[in-house]
Structure 1
C-alpha cells in the first residue's frame, strides 16, 4: 500500500470518529444566523431544511486561504482541482457534481462562463468577502439553471456605524506579497464600504515531468488586483437602495508547450460584477426586492491568441408575503440574458440567448413540523422550457433534533459555446439538438441544534441525465475531432457528516464525506463503456479537521484536509494518490486595533497531484500585519 494512501486513510479515520463523537455538541454555525440562500428570503439557520454551511469573515481571516476554492476545501464544502497556482484554472465539485453544476452568486449577481460552463473560480476575489453561504444539493426550483449540485453565494463586505478602516500587509515565501485595505461606515441615511487589494507571487512550477506536452522547469507566478464598492441608502423606513460594484484582474504564467521553454505564456482574467437593488417593506407582511445585475468574465491567453468573454444580465423581482403565523408565500419573476464573444462561434463570433422565468414557494411551520414547496418555470430562447420543483419537510423528533428530507429536480442549460461552434451537433446531418442536463435528487438528514451548537448528517442520491460530453468523431459532427452531445448519465450518492465541539478552551470541528460519484451510462454502441466507474478527479472519501483555541492575546489554530485516491480519467486507468495536508495558524493581538498573523499551509510539504501533470502548492508561509482602527 502506498505511503500517500496510508497518509490519507489515517486522517480520514480520525475524521469519522471525531465527526460522530462531536455530533451531540456541535458548534459549526450560530443557529440565530440569518441566511438567504436556502429560500432566497431571510430565515434563521435553525429553520433551514437543507444542507447549508456558513463561512464567516473570522474564518476567512484566520485561515488566510489562497482563494475561494481553497477556502471551500478547507471547510469541507467541496473538492477542488487546480492546474497550478492560485490564479490557475480551477474546478470545484460539490457532492461530486461537475463544476458547471454549481451556481455562484456574488452579492446576488450570477457568475458564469458560457465557454467552459460554470464560474471562473480563480477570478473571484477573496480579500473583500464578508460571508459565504454554501448550499449542498439541487436548487433549480429557486434559482433556475446551473444549481444542479448546489449554490455558493458570496457576500462582500458592507458598511455601517462609525467609520472604520481595515489594512492588511502580508509577506511570504515564494516571493508572495499581499496588500489589502478598506474603509467602512455610515453617515446619516447612507452607508458605504470601499475595499482594494493587490497580490503578487513568484509561484512554483505549475507542471510536473508527467506532463509530456507542457512541462517547463520554471516558476509560474501570478499578479492579482481587486476592488469593490458598496453604497446603501435608507430612503425611508423599510425602503432601501443599494449599489454594489466589483472588479478583479489576474495575470498568471503557465506552461503552454515544452517546445517553447523561453516563451512567457500568460492567462489574463478579468471579472466584473455590478448590481443595483431596491428592497421595500410595504407592510409587515409584504416585502419585495427589485434588482438588476450584470457580470462579465473575460479570459485571454498570450502570446498564444485566445479570447473569450461572457456577459450575463439578470433582472429580477422577488418577494414574500406572510399569510399568517407560520405561513409564507415567496414569489419571483426573472429574466436572464447570456452573451458570448468567442471567435469559434459560427454566428460572427457572438452568441446570444435569453431566459424568462417565474417561480413561487410556500413555507409552512406548525409546532414541530415544517414544510416547503418550491416551483419554477424557465423558458429558454434556445432549448425551450424547463419545469423544476422541490418538496422539503422537517420534524423535530426531540428537543434540538430534527429529521429533514427533500425531493426535487434541477437542470443546466447548454452553453452558447457547446451549441454555437463547429463542435456543436450538426442538425443537417441528423444530429439531435443539445438538451438541458437534468438532475433528480432525494435526500434525508438529521440536524441537531441547541443554543450555540449544531451537527448534521445527510444521505443523498442525485441522478443526472443527458450530461453534455465531448464525444469522438461521429458522422453527425462538423469537426473531425468530435462534437458535444447528450450521452452520459451520472449517479451521485453519499453521506455527509459535519460536527464540532467546544472542549474547555479548544474548539474542534470536522467534516466527513463518503461518496460514490459514478458513471451511470449503460453500454452504447461506438462509445467506451465506463459504467460504474468513478467520475474523473472525484474521491470516495474526503474530510477536514479544524481546531483553534484562545490563549490570552493569542489565537492558535490547526487544520487537516484529507482525500482518498482519485482517477484523472473516466476510464479509471490513471490514478491520483490520496493526500493529507496540515495547516497551522497563529494570531497575536498587539493592541485593540493591531494584530499579527502567521499561517503555514501544507506544513509538511507534501507533494499532491489534483490533476495529472500539474503540481499543487508546496509548503507556503505568510506573515500578515492587520490594522483595524475605528474613528
Structure 2
C-alpha cells in the first residue's frame, strides 16, 4: 500500500499536464482558493459567460444546470435541494456572507437576480467541517467581480411578456490601491395566475443594490467591504380552507394578499500576509438583517425578524519545496443568531430569542505537483442550546498524464433546528418543540473525470451516498396540530451525477448535466426531488463574437409532493407531479463596440407544469432589450 502511494506520488510530480486554471474559493478557509481539478469533492462553477449567454435573470434558473440540484419555486419562495437533502440543508453565501433567513433557516432564491460579471460555485456533499451548521447538502456561493477583476460601466434594460421590465447597472474600476464595484438590479412584472383555473395574476417587484470595495494599503495587506440590500414584494395565493369546497387544500385566487421581504447584508474583511506570503491572516465580521411580512387587503397578517452577527479569524501557513506543498489552516468562528416573531396576534413566541455558536476548524491540504491532492478538515462547535458537535471531511484527487482524474470524498454534517421548529410558526398549525436534537448526516462520493486537454473540455461522473439521522419532521396530532419531532428512521440519498463541458471549437460551447437520485424518508420517496433531472445548453458564437445564440433545455422528471386536501388538515396525501421540459432560446447581436441587442423566448413549448402541488407555473414568454458597455 505504501509503495503504491509512493509510485502514484512520483508520477504526479513527473506528469506535466497543464492544470485547470478555474479557482474555487468556497471549499477552503485559507482565502487563497483551490484549483478545481485538485478538489476531491464535487464542484461546479457557472462562470459569468454562461450567465450572460443564457440571459439568466433568476439565479435559481442557472442552478437547474448543475448536477445534483433540484429547484422548486412558488411566489415568495424559491428553494433548491442538493443531492436530495432539504432546502434548509444548503448553506448559501453571497460574496462570503451567509444570507439564509435566520428565522426560516434557508434562503429565498426568488430574491436574487443575477448581476453583471458574476459567477456561482456549487459544492455538493457535507461541508460542515468547513462551515458548521446548514451545510449538510453542500454550499452555494454567488460571487460578484471586484472592480479590479472586471472594470467598466454597463447598463441593461429589457421588457416583455407579463408586463415585465428588468434593468441592471454596474460601475466598477480601480485606481491605485483602491477598487470598487457598484451594482443595482430591478424587476417588475404583472405576473400570471398560479392557481388552477385561477384568474388572479401574481405580480412582483424587487430591487437589489450592492457595493464591493477594496483597498491595498500595502503589498501584503488588503481590506474588503461588501454591503448588499434587497427588497422583494410578491403577490401570493392562499389555500382553500373550506372543507366543503371541491378545491379544499388547493391554491385559490386570494385578492390582495402579498409578501414583503427586506434584507440587508454586510461584510468587512482584512487580510495580512507575512513571511513572503507563506503565513496569512484574515479577520472578518459580517451581519444579516432579514424582515418578512405578509399582508391581506386590510392589514399585516404575519411577520418575523431575523438577525445574524458573525466574526471569523483564519490563519494559514504554507510550507514545502518543489512539487510537494503543504497548507495548514486554523480558523475560529463566533456567531449569534437572533429571532423574533412579529405576528400581530403574537402567536408562537414573543420577544427576541438567541442562539450562540462558536466553532474551531483545522484544515490540512497536501499538493503533489499539479496532479495529486489530499485534504482533511475537522471542526468542533460549541452551541448555547444544543450539545457540542464535531464534524469531519477528507478528500483526495489524482490525475493521470492521460487527463483522467479519480477523486473521492467523505464527511459528516450537522444542522441545528430552526427557530420555528423549536418555538412554532405564526399560522398556529405548526407547534414548536424545544427538545429537538440537531440533524446529522454522513456520506461519501467517488468520481471519475476525463479532461480532453487544450481547453477542449471534460466529462465526468460521480456516485454519492448519504444517510441522515434525527431528521426533523412535523407529526400531526389530532386536535393539536403539527408538532416537530426527530424521526427515528434513517433517511437515505444516493445517486449518480454526470456532466459534460465541451468546447469543440472557439465558436461552440456545449454544457450538459444529468442526475439520477434515489431519496427515501422512512421508506417513502422524498417530496420535490425528481428521480431524473437533466439539462443541455448549446451556445454558438460567430468568429469575432459579433452575434451569438444559445439553446437551453431543462428536464425535470416526475416528483412526489404532499397535498393537504383531506379535511381536516392532517396527514397529507402523497401525489405525483408530472415531468416537464423547459426549452429556452436566446440570441444577441452587437450593434457597435458599446451597444448590444438581445432577446430570448422562455418555455418555447408552452409547458403547463407544477413545481409544487397546485401551484401553476408560467407559460411561454418572450423578452428583448439593450445592453450598453463602456
What aligned pairs does 1:128-527 form with structure 2 within 5 A after superposition? 130-160=118-148, 164-209=152-197, 216-256=198-238, 263-283=255-275, 284-303=277-296, 304-325=300-321, 326-343=325-342, 348-367=350-369, 368-421=371-424, 433-449=435-451, 450-452=453-455, 453-473=457-477, 480-487=480-487, 488-504=489-505, 505-519=507-521, 521=522
Consecutive unaligned residues in structure 1, runs of 5 or more: 1-29, 210-215, 428-432, 522-530
Instruction: For residue 65 of structure 1, report the CA deviation from its aligned partner.
Output: 2.5
Structure 1's 140 and 262: CA in aligned 2 closer, same or farther, altered over 3 A?
closer
Deviation per CA, 1:580-619, whole angstroms, max 9, x where unpaired?
A: 1111110111111111111111111111111111011211
Q: Is the 8 A contact 2:513 2:536 kept in 1?
A: yes
Instruction: For residue 498 of structure 1, report the CA deviation from its aligned partner.
Output: 0.7
SS of 2:562's partner is coil
Q: Which residue of 2 aligns with 1:63?
A: 54
What is the rounded CA distance, in whole Å, between the counterparts of 2:608 and 2:490 in structure 1? 33
Structure 1's 511 and 123: CA in aligned 2 closer, same or farther, altered over 3 A?
same
What is the rounded CA distance, in whole Å, between the counterparts of 1:161 and 1:606 in structure 2? 40
What is the rounded CA distance, in whole Å, between the counterparts of 1:322 and 1:341 in structure 2? 44
Instruction: For residue 264 of structure 1, report the CA deviation from its aligned partner.
Output: 1.2
Structure 1's 345 and 381: CA in aligned 2 closer, same or farther, altered over 3 A?
farther
Q: Which residue of 1 aligns with 2:14?
A: none
SS of 1:353's partner is strand
Consecutive unaligned residues in structure 2, runs of 5 or more: 1-18, 242-251, 564-571
Q: Is the 8 A contact 2:307 2:339 kept in 1?
A: yes
Q: Which residue of 1 aligns with 2:15?
A: none
Q: Is the 8 A contact 2:608 2:617 kept in 1?
A: yes
In the TM superposition, structure 1's runs of 4+ consecutive aligned residues that sit over 6 Å from their partners are none
Deviation per CA, 1:45-98, whole angstroms, max 9, x where unpaired?
A: 2222211111122222222234121120144451111114xxx31111111111
Q: Which residue of 2 aligns with 1:17?
A: none
Q: Is the 8 A contact 1:38 1:50 kept in 2?
A: no
Instruction: For residue 408 of structure 1, report the CA deviation from its aligned partner.
Output: 1.0
What is the rounded CA distance, in whole Å, between the counterparts of 1:426 and 1:118 in structure 2? 19
- RCO comparison, higher one (Cα < 8 Å, 6+): 1
What is the rounded CA distance, in whole Å, between the counterparts of 1:74 and 1:620 in structure 2? 20
What is the rounded CA distance, in whole Å, between the counterparts of 2:432 and 2:154 in structure 1? 52
Match of 2:534 among 533, 543, 559: 543
> Does 1:33 find its partner at 2:22?
yes
What is the rounded CA distance, in whole Å, between the counterparts of 2:291 and 2:574 in structure 1? 35
Q: TM-score, normalised by structure 2?
A: 0.87
What aligned pairs does 1:76-87 form with structure 2 within 5 A after superposition? 76=67, 78-84=69-75
Q: Is the 8 A contact 2:412 2:440 kept in 1?
A: yes
What is the rounded CA distance, in whole Å, between the counterparts of 2:396 and 2:338 in structure 1? 38
What is the rounded CA distance, in whole Å, between the counterparts of 1:163 and 1:330 in structure 2? 32
What is the rounded CA distance, in whole Å, between the counterparts of 1:112 and 1:390 in structure 2? 23
Instruction: For residue 346 of structure 1, report the CA deviation from its aligned partner.
Output: 5.6
Q: Is the 8 A contact 2:423 2:433 kept in 1?
A: no
Structure 1's 455 and 39: CA in aligned 2 closer, same or farther, altered over 3 A?
farther
What is the rounded CA distance, in whole Å, between the counterparts of 2:185 and 2:394 in structure 1? 42
Structure 1's 55 and 439: CA in aligned 2 closer, same or farther, altered over 3 A?
same
Instruction: For residue 502 of structure 1, report the CA deviation from its aligned partner.
Output: 2.8
What is the rounded CA distance, in whole Å, between the counterparts of 2:224 and 2:66 in structure 1? 30
SS of 1:59's partner is helix
What aligned pairs does 1:586-625 form with structure 2 within 5 A after superposition? 586-625=587-626
Q: Is the 8 A contact 2:306 2:339 kept in 1?
A: yes
Instruction: For residue 278 of structure 1, report the CA deviation from its aligned partner.
Output: 0.4
Structure 1's 228 and 77: CA in aligned 2 closer, same or farther, altered over 3 A?
farther
Q: Is the 8 A contact 2:200 2:255 kept in 1?
A: no
SS of 1:305's partner is strand
Instruction: For residue 261 of structure 1, report the CA deviation from its aligned partner.
Output: 5.5
Match of 2:64 among 51, 73, 76: 73
Q: Is the 8 A contact 2:104 2:419 kept in 1?
A: no
Structure 1's 124 and 312: CA in aligned 2 closer, same or farther, altered over 3 A?
farther
Q: TM-score, normalised by structure 1?
A: 0.86
Structure 1's 262 and 448: CA in aligned 2 closer, same or farther, altered over 3 A?
closer
Structure 1's 103 and 345: CA in aligned 2 closer, same or farther, altered over 3 A?
farther
Q: Is the 8 A contact 1:129 1:154 kept in 2?
A: no
Q: Is the 8 A contact 2:52 2:116 kept in 1?
A: no
What is the rounded CA distance, in whole Å, between the counterparts of 1:282 and 1:71 in structure 2? 39
Instruction: For residue 421 of structure 1, report the CA deviation from its aligned partner.
Output: 3.5
Instruction: For residue 295 of structure 1, report the CA deviation from its aligned partner.
Output: 1.1
Q: Is the 8 A contact 1:78 1:95 kept in 2?
A: yes
SS of 2:616's partner is coil
